[in-house]
Amino acid sequence: MVAIIDYDTGNLRSVINAFNRLGAEIIVTADHQQILQATHVVLPGVGEASSAMEKLRTRGLDTLIPTLTQPTLGICIGLQLMCKSSAEGDAKCMGIFPTEVRFMSPAAEVGLKIPHVGWDNVNWTLPEPPIAKDIPEGAHFYYVHSYAAALCPDTIATTDYGAPFSAALQHRNFIGVQFHPEKSGPIGEQLLRNFLTLKP
């Protein structure tokens, strides 16, 4: 059972549809017991970091999520909320990944458009982490974001847009991806399929 966390940040439908296409059994919930009992957990979301963190706090999810032991995937702002902090709204986040989320000013300084929208290549920093099984090096994923996590020891993939940033992070059972696998066609579907094979 995959628990997709519902904390009123939108983007649920495309994530639900992606897991449905894979035949996964899913539940969309903010209930703590249902999340704890799930085999896999997904934290999706779009929006602004400080308000998203407030929505997690209101539901007590900011303290629950870091205690999870099953494979847990943060998508887009879900990744950002797993970091120490975000410059977007000066948000204190959950601190699962030891890095900060910053505005993509290096990209803006060289004339690249912000937000970073569209397809871009992802380069894995490990030979082939389990989440990247059967995904070619440099494969393109779909992005929509203006803030990104700085590189850190937990970075497992990078994308260069003005400067390198963390395209994916992993710490124990927690994985975060800045791109949208649910909107990235067959390559994104493969990543989600890989996620479903991960064991606690």
Percentage helix, strand, coil for the chain under 3-state DSSP, each rounded to 5:
30, 30, 35
Encoding tokens for residue 106?
């290096």
Does the active-site annotation cover 88?
no
Active-site residue, from 83, 88, 145, 182: 182
Handedness of CA 15, 97, 46, 106 (dihedral sign): negative
What does the alpha-carbon distance between residue 16 and residue 122 come to, in Å, rounded to a whole number?
24
Does the active-site annotation cover 189?
no
Nearest alpha carbon to residue 115 among 85, 151, 142: 142
**Contact (CB, 8 A) for 138 and 39:** no
Active-site residue, from 48, 109, 180, 189: 180
Does the active-site annotation cover 140?
no
Active-site residue, from 76, 88, 93, 145: 76
User: Residues with catalytic annotation?
Assistant: 76, 180, 182
